Chains A and B, each alone.
Chain A
Amino acid sequence: MSNSDENNKKPSGIEIFLTNLKHLPQSFKDAAVRHGPPSSNRAASQTVFSNLFLHIHSVRTHRYNFKKTFTVGLGIASAAAFVILVITGVLLMIYYKPSLAQAYNSVKDIHFAVPGGRLIRNIHRWGAHLMVLGVFLHMVRVFMTGSYRHPRQFNWVVGMILFAVTLGLSFTGYLLPWDQLAYWATTIGAQIAGSPVEITDALGITKYIDIGGTQMRLLLGSDVVGEEALVRFYFLHCIFLPLVLITFLGVHFWRIRKDGGMSRPSKITDDMLVGTPIDVAAEMAFPTKNKTYGLMCLVKGDSNNVKNSPNQTVQSWPHLFNYEMAIFILVLAILIVLSYVSDAPLKEAANPAVPENPAKAPWYFLGLQELVSYSAFMGGVAIPGLAVLGLMLIPFLDRTRNQSGIWFPDKDEKTVFKSTVIFSSIVILATLIFTVNFGWLRNWYPQIPQMFIVILNPGTVITSLFVWWSLRILKKTGSTRLGAMSIFTCFLIGFIILTYFAYQHRGPNWNFYWWPSLWPTH
């Protein structure tokens, strides 16, 4: 072609057209991707910032973050689960019909007659469980490594919102199959939303301010779970909550980047980086390890990389992306295997006349259900509400700037953690043993006003003891970090034990049984 140019012979229009046609694949590729293959660091960097999906990552990632024991990939796993949930969820919407008459039948059809329908539904269900678990463990990891601290306080708050929205998605999705399990779990959930009526009733102001009733009607569109509730839950599950989640997830990712990447200790020695990928070129490019630089006068305070010179970083492409791809496909593989192992439950069609016995919530709400069995308001609204609020506020109440990004950086934390685990286990177990054997106020004084029970029930007792314990730690050690650590640990252990207890030892009529095999057959 260059020959013809040299000959200075004007090509005919047809020739130009044919040439362009010949070059079509290459020119299309050039237009889409404006750089060469990521063979050099520069090209790889270009790849990252010129790609919409990749540019949310920093171009280089600190080697510390590749330590397998540090993040365990929980955040990425949660996000991967979410992506899989979105894909399978959108597909399920093709066959699912959100109406009272059709919902159950359409889920049956998905199970029986849609090609691969059973697999897709199972993946969706297992994905939901995995996402809740992932988000929860991710939160525990972030807390335990002290990563919520400056400058990541706000991202912690966003994380808490994401946690709540995840639970909301899970709860709203529960109703859609319209089977017995769905109907009664949702009925109970809606009643919990309505439980502030306990307080307003006790104060005699329900007539004027009916918070509980308003909440419940807002949720159900009616006073009972019916077609209105189904449509509302469908809307929440498929449109509203996913949009909220995607929005905050964007903020969450963006803040990771803007808050200086994932957390890590201020001093990182080479022996802490054993087993992580290494970029020799970078090592050589920055011989001085304490180079500081700033963006002239634009930024106050330290810049991102002030204390961590780039010599400890590697190119995000391909190291980080491989990591992400691996986690994603691992999650998918786990879900597919689980889907073959066990089908998503679909019980008999919802029957408003016959309650499930026991009507158990999904596992992540079981701990609350145990508390709800005494006071719906305290167990279902006040205590979890306060817990979430308290968690959100932790970074603002504990403002120490110790080492972050390390599991148990000093001996104190380890000691406090151990003693708190023992203390909270004893408190919870003692309370459970006591209530199982002796019952609670209502069993002794059947006429007792509900207000007494709202104030004094196992939930409030446990919570008060936890608060007392952490205040004691706070006073003794003078460390807000240790105080926060102890209350967090208390709630964590409480959640685990209560969940286990309600899952394993509660049977019909919410009675105590050693094993589900001992349940009476009605």
Chain B
Amino acid sequence: MKKIMFYSSIIVIVFLIYGAVKEYLTTDWRSYQNQYAEFVEKDGVDFDVDYRQLVLPWFDKIDRCVICHVGISDPKTKNLANPLRVHPGSYLDSHDPNKFGCTICHDGQGRAITFESALASSEEYYWEEPILLSPYLEANCARCHRSDMPKLSGAYQRGKRLFIENGCQGCHTIQGKGGALGPELTTIGQESFSAKRPHSDNEHLIEEFNGNVNLAYIFEAVYQPKIQPDSSQMIDFGLSKEEAKDLTVYIKSLQEYAVPEGMIAASGVIEENGKDLYLRYCSACHGKNGKGTNLAEIGKLGPALGNPQFLAIVDNDFLSAIIEGSGSSVMPAWGSGGGLAKDDISKIADYVLSLKNEPKLYKEIKSVEGIAKYGRITFNANCAGCHGIDGEYETDLIGPTLRSPQLLSLFDNEKYYETIVHGRAGTAMPAWNFLSKQELADLIVYIDSWRAKKITYTSFVNAVNKGSSLRGKRLFYENCAACHGDNKEGGIGPSLYSKEFLTLADNKFMYNTIVKGRRNTAMPSFNHLDKNALGDIMAYLRDGFKGTTIGTGKKKIIGSEFNGKHLFERTCAQCHGKKGVGLNGPAIGNKDFLTNASDEYIWNMAAYGRSGSQMKGNLHGQNGTSDLSKKELNDIVSYIRTLEKKSPHLNGISTIPGDVDNGRIYFNEMCSQCHGIGGGGGNGPGIGKKGFLQSVSDGFIAAMMMSGRDGTEMKKFGRGGIVEIDGNTAMNIVYFLRNKDKSEVGKKYVVGTPQNGKVLYEGQCIQCHQKGSFAPDLMRSAFVKAAPVGYLQATMSLGRHQTAMQSMIRGNAGLTELSSKEINDIISYIKMGKE
């Protein structure tokens, strides 16, 4: 017993003393601190060898790294060996170690006081955040620099770019944003090494990454995604090793690290442009340039959004709706499930739309000689399905008849061309910019061939000389009075019963105005009237005018444009609008007007006014709106003259004042039957849609209303029409169309027979569009809700190149030859009960 007692006691004493010696005399940090103490002693500084630590309660950290690294803030130690050397770079100037500590940037086990335990670079240290070396260190900057990563973080920035451009978030969610095909990545940089680690064949990666299992796992996941079992759906992007490492740096930064509010460098959300958003969320499936991808690995097909025919018929609203909640089994609903905000979705849609080819300029087409007979073929192959064969009117056409005289007179060739290449967003009218130059030129020539033979100036003058004022009065009443007043006193158009005007307006001026019209204003060309009728109207116009027409004069007036601009804006712009775009007064900045009117004409009008209208004489002594000198009038005229060259583009711009509520009442009463609620489209075109409104001027709309479109359902609403509205009402309607709320625009409806549509659908569509088949499921409600009728009409009519979708409309040599009505039937079947 005594022996046991004795020897045990000796063992206890020996081991305890051995332990004490080991702990107090032979630890590494003591020798380092002794070394440092010796070093600073030379400078006469006292240094106590003792335990040291940085206490950082705001991070819930205690970092004892400084127990060995005693010289990190002492620049004198720059020649010593580590761990005594000063911290490299100037980081510590902005990152006070007493405030930030070490492990917030470097990771590692801050509480440890031995080298190996502090690095914790192996699982046997059971520490989830082993030390990070360059460049992986950059990942930790993002813990505080949430949206303003320093520029120096090259690997991080490159990795981030790779992350965006490969569309990783198309499958992976980060903080509620992203797809759901792959695992969430919000905290992938903090994953436990027990949960996520490289495949057992890749254990060597752990060593390669300095014992950091998390890094090794991330690297493996992006570099050799196929190696993990469970038939991972992850696509192998074929990254180079360097790229994979950069990407690893970025992915490592995906953490939810608790940092106090005040220490976050900048927490603002990074505004991303549509392109980056597209790349981030969509490019994995739809391709980087919208070319589409075939993801055989996951049995998925991302349609090519850059398909010109697709882009030709979609608008932002439709794309946004599909992105927000496609409801398809393949594409996630990015609004609810994907966590994208409405703004971001709209930006993505805009970006997708920007993938369209730039439309060819009219100038380019003009240089190509078009041939009408080929144009006719092109027309009947591409356009006739909706617009009628040879553009002639038929019932139940999808598109309006183009061959009405009024339209032809309001639209010149350029205007036709613009509509063709830009399309009408939100309607069934695609942007045809994918047609070749020759085809476009042919089309324009063909359309031009519809125009009535132009009345020449000579025949006009002859007719004027023979005109009868009596007949003219009736014709004026029918054609002109709606705007110019029953007795020429003026309405929305200027007064014509004006001595000053008639004095100045000679036959040439009248011819140019009446026969050619004034484009972009409500004054259409009256080319389609008989020349004798024009003569009669002229006779009526000049009836009762006692003076002589002296003409507009030819003298060039020279003044100061600069001065004139100021005077114009002070005096004229109130009625004529800024830059003469026209308000209550006529659009004197109009190019056609300025070509027609000479300087003298303008000067005289400005100086002496136009009796019977609001236009008063402005020359000194005329008691007009202003009191101007002759020189000042010169200045104004020379300013107005400059507007000719830069004639303001009025399409899509609201120039006239009006009353929305009044306009709404009249529109709903008279127009919505055909044009749909708020102009959303019905059997008539969707004139409330942005696409239409952007491509026409106020004048065009007003003129169309007043004159109707012969040969179509669009009746005349001016004098002699089915309903007679006055000019103000017309303007209010235009104003309403321009200024209504987006939500007021109803969905386009079509009048079709669903029963008939069902038969057709089952006969023509179901083979491909069956649920589970390769073509999209058309019956899913999210799609049906989002897809505008126009989109469906256009897709069915045109088919889609480079895909299996064939044209269905007659004349297009597609899968089948349906009439417009039949297409509408199918649409009404698809839409039935889903809206």
Contacts and interface: CB of A to CB of B under 8 A. Distances in A.
A binds B: yes
Interface of A: 101, 105, 108-109, 112-113, 115-116, 119, 179-180, 322-323, 325-327, 329-330, 332-333, 336-337, 340, 346-349, 351, 353-354, 356-357, 520-522
B194 interface: yes
Interface size class of B (residues with CB under 8 A): 35 or more
B776 to A, nearest CB: 38
A346 B127 CA distance: 10
20 contacts: A105-B62, A108-B112, A109-B62, A112-B111, A180-B194, A326-B1, A329-B12, A330-B4, A333-B8, A333-B11, A333-B15, A336-B15, A340-B15, A340-B19, A348-B192, A349-B128, A354-B192, A354-B194, A521-B197, A522-B200
A80 to B, nearest CB: 11
B195 interface: yes
B111 A116 contact: no
A30 B62 CA distance: 54
B796 interface: no
Nearest to A331: B8
Contacts of A112: 64, 111-114, 117
Interface in B173-224: 192-195, 197, 200, 203
Interface of B: 1-2, 4-5, 7-9, 11-12, 15-16, 19-20, 23, 51, 53, 60, 62, 64, 109, 111-114, 117, 126-128, 192-195, 197, 200, 203
A383 to B, nearest CB: 31
A333 B19 contact: no
Given A113-B51, A322-B2, A346-B126, A336 B16 contact: yes
Nearest to A277: B1
Nearest to B112: A112
A119 B53 CA distance: 22
B5 A326 contact: yes
Contact of A116 (B19, B62, B64, B126): B19
Contact of A522 (B7, B23, B197): B197
Contacts of A108: 109, 111-112
Counting chain A CB atoms within 10 Å of each CB, which of B1, B11, B194 scores highest? B1
A346 B23 CA distance: 20
Given A346-B126, A348-B192, 10 more contacts: A105-B62, A113-B53, A180-B194, A329-B12, A330-B4, A330-B5, A333-B8, A333-B15, A521-B203, A522-B200
B12 A322 contact: no
A179 B195 contact: no
B128 A357 contact: no
Nearest to B193: A348
Given A101-B60, A112-B113, A348 B194 contact: yes
Contacts of B114: 112
A356 B194 contact: yes
B64 A329 contact: no
Contacts of B15: 333, 336-337, 340
Contact of B12 (A113, A332, A520, A521): A332
A230 B7 CA distance: 41
B64 A326 contact: no
B501 to A, nearest CB: 85
Contact of B9 (A119, A322, A329): A329
A119 B19 contact: yes
Contacts of B194: 180, 348, 351, 354, 356-357, 522
A351 B192 CA distance: 8
Nearest to A319: B1
A326 B2 contact: yes
Nearest to A330: B8
B15 to A, nearest CB: 5
A228 B807 CA distance: 69
Contacts of B62: 105, 109
A326 B10 CA distance: 12
A321 B109 CA distance: 48
A75 to B, nearest CB: 16
The 7 closest A-B pairs by CB, nearest first: A326-B5, A333-B8, A333-B11, A354-B195, A329-B8, A326-B4, A354-B192
A49 B9 CA distance: 28
B20 to A, nearest CB: 8
B128 A348 contact: yes
A105 B111 contact: yes
A224 B20 CA distance: 42
B111 A323 contact: no
Contact of A336 (B12, B23, B192, B203): B12
Given A112-B117, A113-B111, A353-B192, A521 B200 contact: yes
Contacts of A346: 126
Contacts of B23: 115-116
Contacts of A179: 126
A332 B194 CA distance: 36
Contacts of B19: 116, 119, 340
